[in-house]
Amino acid sequence: MTGPDIRLLVADDHPVVRAGLRAVLETEPGLLVVAEAATAEEAVTRATAGDIDVVLMDLQFGRGMNGAEATAVITARPGAPRVLIVTTYDSDADTLPAIEAGATGYLLKDAPPEELAAAVRTAAQGRTTLAPAVADRLMSRLRAPVTALTRRETDVLVLVADGLSNRAVAQRLHLTEGTVKSHLARIYAKLGVDSRTAAVATAANLGLIRR
């Protein structure tokens, strides 16, 4: 006697990727793809319908809401489906916001089909599956928390890496220029650097931001 199907929503902005995930998942007994979403906003809306158990969520959707933001909205609701991140990105700048947002698991798109199916079943049970590279990064972060940047510090450094001035960063993040300088001072201290350029380079090397 088998239980009911695990009902899935595949959210990715690339049609070929959605089709590939659907093809892989629907060969697995007990897994049923009931919907697809091409944007994060569409995924948020579709996830509220009440007929989804697990959302397979990409992180980058081009313009608009990203996957981590969509995950936070979806998981904040009572009785929400589980969210399993399936992406190509494995840096701290990607994984940590998604996990903090409430993702149950995090896989990379090059995972074998059987690993993907197992992760979906694990997520449906409310348990966590992490890609090995992601698990290693999290363990490293726990072992050396002094280098861990807060989400706001990461936001500031990403904009600095894009070439924005302190004033422009402040305007973009709705902060005062003094607050941005304070964030940068803490970033410098955590990374053991004394300049914007060195902070960006070190953070990129550590996988704290993407370049």
Tens-place pLDDT, residues 95-115: 878 888 899 999 988 889 999
The structural domains of the chain, with segments of one domain joined by +, span: 6-141, 145-205
Look at the pTM and tell me if it is higher than 0.75. Answer: no
Domains 6-141 and 145-205 share a fold: no
Residue 66: φ, ψ to 5°: -95, 180
pLDDT in tens, 17-30: 999 999 999 999 99
pLDDT in tens, 112-171: 999 999 999 999 999 988 888 777 767 766 665 556 788 889 999 999 999 999 999 999
- Say how many residues make up the chain: 211
Res 1: pLDDT:
38
Q: Report residue 207's pLDDT band, with 50, 70 and 90 as the boundaries.
A: confident
CATH 3.40.640.10 fits 6-141, yes or no: no
CATH class of domain segment(s) 145-205:
mainly alpha
pLDDT in tens, 191-206: 888 889 999 998 888 7
